[in-house]
């Protein structure tokens, strides 16, 4: 019998949250979560769908988009949208920040206690209620810098 992987354990840990939001953990939803959690970066819905196609999971593109959107609204996963890029999805929902490469659009997770301690600005006068604070630092990733040095 196969040992459960770290990904399987994470999916099982999400089961109560899914149930609380009215989601049964169907084979399609499990396949979508597995594909997302297998990424070390923040894939677009199209990239998740491409992985599922290669795995012959039989999940339509529309189902991937709808499921990722519904999961992000429920807090099962996070949606990391950045200016000029398609929505990216993140299997991590704990407090963390992002490094965004301006050349390849790669999004890299990182943690920093100093950023975690930033006070949330008072936005009430703008009629805006802040629900999350993440810092996005823009720059050039290691791979792009190495490619530029070779060129």
Q: Does residue 86 belong to any structural domain of this protein?
A: no
Predicted TM-score (pTM) of this structure: 0.68
Q: Does residue 89 belong to any structural domain of this protein?
A: no
131 has a pLDDT exceeding 70:
yes
* Rg of the chain over all Cα atoms, to the nearest angstrom: 17
Residues 45 and 103 in one domain: no
Q: Is 48 exposed, middle or buried (CB count within 10 Å of its CB: 0-12, 13-18, 19+)?
A: buried
Tell me 126's DSSP state. Answer: G
Tally the domains of the chain: 2
Lowest mean pLDDT among 54-63, 93-102, 111-120, 139-148: 93-102
Q: Does residue 85 belong to any structural domain of this protein?
A: no
| pLDDT level of residue 1 (50, 70, 90 thresholds) | very low
């Amino acid at each position: 019998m196969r040992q459960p992987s770290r990904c399987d354990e994470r999916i099982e840990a999400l089961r109560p949250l899914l149930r609380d939001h009215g989601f049964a953990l169907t084979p399609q939803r499990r396949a979508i979560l597995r594909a997302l959690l297998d990424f070390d970066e923040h894939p677009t819905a199209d990239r998740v769908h491409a992985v599922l196609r290669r795995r012959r999971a039989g999940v339509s593109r529309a189902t991937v988009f709808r499921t990722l959107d519904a999961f992000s609204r429920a807090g099962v996963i996070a949606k990391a949208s950045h200016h000029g890029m398609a929505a990216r999805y993140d299997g991590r929902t704990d407090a963390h920040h992002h490094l965004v490469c301006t050349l390849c659009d790669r999004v890299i997770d990182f943690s920093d206690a100093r950023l975690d301690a930033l006070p949330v600005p008072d936005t009430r006068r703008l009629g805006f209620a802040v629900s999350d604070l993440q810092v996005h630092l823009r720059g050039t990733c290691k791979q792009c810098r190495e490619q530029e040095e070779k060129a």
